[in-house]
Amino acid sequence: MDTAQLLQPEAEMPGIDTGEFVVGAIAGDTGAFEQLYRQFSPRIYGLCLRMTGQREAAEDCTQESFIAAWKALPRFEQRSRFSTWLHRIAVHTVLSRRRGLRNLYEVAEPATGLPEVADPGSGSPPLDIEQAIASLPDGARHVLVLVGIYGYSHAEAAASLGIAEGTCKAQLHRARSLLAATLGLEEK
C-alpha cells in the first residue's frame, strides 16, 4: 500500500470536502485552515509523536508543521493530495527540529526510560510496542515509523529522510531486530 492510499482524506472524514477547505486556506481563510487542522492533526500528531518519541516535541512539531503549511500553501500544487503534502512538511519539520536541537534532545531522557534491549532472562513483562518504538535509535525509528506504520515505500521514506534507499532498508531491518529483541519476540 502506498502513502497516497494511506493518507486519503476521504477515508478520514467521510462526506467532508477537503478540497473546499484547501482552496479556502490558500485564499487566506484561517477558518478553512482550522478545519484542515481539525481533520489532519491526529494523523500529523501521531506521526510527530512516533518520530520524536517525545510528547512535548511532538506537540511543537505539529504546531510548526501547520504553521509551515500555512506559509507554504500558496505554493501548494493541488495535483498532489493535501494530506500527502502535509505529511511531507511534518517529516521535514521533525528532522529540521531534530537537527537544530540535537544537543537538547540527546541529553534529554527518553520519554519511556526503557532499556534498549530487554533481558530475556529477567522475567520482566513484555514491553509496550509504542514504548519500544520510542526507545529505538533515531534513524531506525524514523524509518520504522514511515515504512512500518505509515506505509511509505522505501523510495518515499528515503526521499523524505534524505537517505539512500539501501540505507532505508538497512535501518528498517535494524529497527525490526531491535524491536523484536526489546519485545522479547525472539524467545517465543
Partner 1 sequence: MTEPARNSLDAQLAKLPRDLPPPRNLWPGIARGIERGALRNPQRHRPMAWAAAAAVAGACLASALTWVVLHGRPNSPSAPIMAAQPSYGDVTTARYVAARDSLEQTFQQRLASLDPATRAKVEASLATIRKAHEDIRQALVAAPASPVLEQLWESTWQDEFDLYDRVVQATQPTMTRT
Near partner 1 by CB under 8 A: residue from 3, 54, 66, 83: 66
| From 16, 32, 88, 163, residue interacting with partner 1 (rule: CB under 8 A) | 88
Distance CA 134, CA 44 (A): 16
Among 5, 14, 15, 77, binds partner 1 (CB under 8 A): 77
Q: DSSP secondary structure string, 119-184?
A: -GGG-PPPPPHHHHHHTS-HHHHHHIIIIIIT---HHHHHHHHTS-HHHHHHHHHHHHHHHHHHTT
Closest CB 6 distance from partner 1, rounded Å: 7
Interface residue with partner 1 among 34, 116, 124, 164 (CB under 8 A) is 34
Sole binder of partner 1 in the list 3, 9, 22, 43 (CB under 8 A): 43
Task: Give the span between the Cα atoms of 132 and 178, in whole angstroms.
Answer: 9
117 near partner 1, rule: CB under 8 A: no
> Considering beta carbons, is residue 102 or 173 the nearer one to partner 1?
173
152 binds partner 1 (CB under 8 A): no
